Structure 1
């Protein structure tokens, strides 16, 4: 069963402007690179009363590469809300940030700027975003493209890494390909200082950071967040237990409190993933002119 919710109203006419760039697409990696750009910065309002859910767009200013205009935004997807000693934060992918910690980076969504970069742990692919005053978050996964939710969307808990087995059916939400589903194929180590679980769930660059989940007899549970794209154009994700451990955090849910977990281990019999995956920050990016609408096909 699926349901849908009404998203916050867009604030300001600039938020509804169409994309101005033509794109070149790399199908294998889901990378989108602008062929042309207007280099016009459109004002983005501050959000007030933003009702964030995992799966919302997470849009950051781009640190330009050579010969690129300094007026681009990178489209990614926001992850789960977690709670620690310093308060509650939203997770996002480190691939989405400018890569500098010299000044706070603003993060915007449908209705303007809803948060700022707070902290990055180098042993995890997620960074933390602090919501700005007047905005709130609910642990309810949503497809940002269709607004659909699995059931009522409410996350009842998280699944330990050791229970995420080969062949298990999982779903993900993302600003690139929306709601897609598939199965776990294997554990991916490569040169990363952390393990990822790779799947055959279709995904693209704009899905990076988005929530991975499963709905079964235990209810809707968080599994992790998309951290890389495989060589077949599918999602590889970081298990949520590992992210919570690295940040010393818990996951607020609509179910029983599972506390702050210890380090997890991959499921018995989950062999290494036979393909490859990319965290390349140039290939894995969907960029738009700053302030433009993020929606595919806009």
Structure 2
């Protein structure tokens, strides 16, 4: 899979979206864009629900690339960006499922998403990485869970600040690519530790699938949880949203 979007007219400018790009709402919050997913109504980009309201235009690295089309916040902290909706007709949005640090342009290995890291394997001390438009590429280990807007969020020591919400959480697949783990939604103000909703939870909620690249050579299998995760306190936990 080289791209998820259909090829546009030759004369049109193309915005090449990648998970980790900005998801800036000039009418409100600044966030980060997450994975591209596909449902019965086509392709969408995941982000956090607190990152804007339905109808808001979303801006990326150098142009608008979509509009928030679905958002159940505050019941659930997740939203979908519809690519190209309301965007200049001369701009075609072409999505590539390649995780990138939007602050530097770097990717872990190839950055190509080759699969999903299952929620059942999100145990204590499992190492994950995250991309966010404020703190960039950071990594940390999972240490607890918390209920967040009706969903179970997992928290790690990966540094997370306001503006990182919506960005992809990932784990290397052992072959040079990455496995999708989740989407950042919150951070602790005292420590900067971040929390994310698992990708399987989000796909189930939206009734969607995750387009991926073919896997390379056989890599490491996801390990089962080493030990159960404690339930954390919500004190000091806030949406990881940026403001202008």
TM-score (norm 2): 0.81
In the other structure, the counterpart of 1:116 is 67
Q: Does 1:251 align with 2:206?
A: no
Partner of 2:167: 210
Structure 1 residue aligned with 2:218: none
Give the Cα separation in 2 of the matches to 1:176 and 1:110.
14
- Paired residue for 2:183, among 214, 220, 225? 225
| 1:159 is the counterpart of 2:111 | no
- SS of the equivalent of 1:162 reads helix
Q: Is 1:53 matched up with 2:21?
A: no
Whether 1:187 aligns to 2:187 is no
1:220 deviation in Å? 1.1
Distance apart, 1:48 and its partner CA: 3.2
Aligned CA RMSD, in angstroms, stands at 2.1
User: Which of 117, 120, 125 is 2:77 aligned to?
Assistant: 125
Summarize deviations over 1:96-118 as a string: whole Å, max 9, x none. Answer: 10x4x4xx211011121100111
Q: Quick one: distance in 1 between partners of 2:166 and 2:236? A: 15
Moved beyond 4 Å, runs of 4+:
none
Distance of 1:245 and 1:285 partners within structure 2: 24
SS at the partner of 1:196? strand
**Cα separation, 2, equivalents of 1:145 and 1:275:** 29
Instruction: Pick from 34, 38, 60 the counterpart of residue 79 of structure 1.
Output: 34
Q: Which runs of 5+ in 1 are unaligned?
A: 1-46, 63-72, 257-265, 289-298
Conserved 8 A contact 1:121-1:246: no
Q: Which has the larger radius of gyration?
A: 1
Aligned positions, number: 215
Q: Give unmatched runs, 5+ long, in structure 2.
A: 1-11, 85-90, 216-224
TM superposition score normalised by structure 1? 0.67
Alpha-carbon distance change, 272 to 220 in structure 1, aligned in 2, over 3 angstroms: same
Structure 2 CA distance for aligned equivalents of residues 128 and 216 of structure 1 = 26
Query: Per-residue CA shift, 1:148-178, capped at 9, x if unaligned?
Result: 1000110000111111111011100010000
Alignment of structure 1 residues 164-179 onto 2, 5 Å: 164-179=122-137
Partner SS state of residue 196, structure 2: strand
> Is the contact between residue 162 and residue 268 of structure 1 (CA under 8 Å) also seen in structure 2?
no
Q: Which has the higher contact order (CA 8 A, sep 6+)?
A: 1
- Does structure 1 retain, via aligned residues, the 8 Å contact 2:188–2:238? no
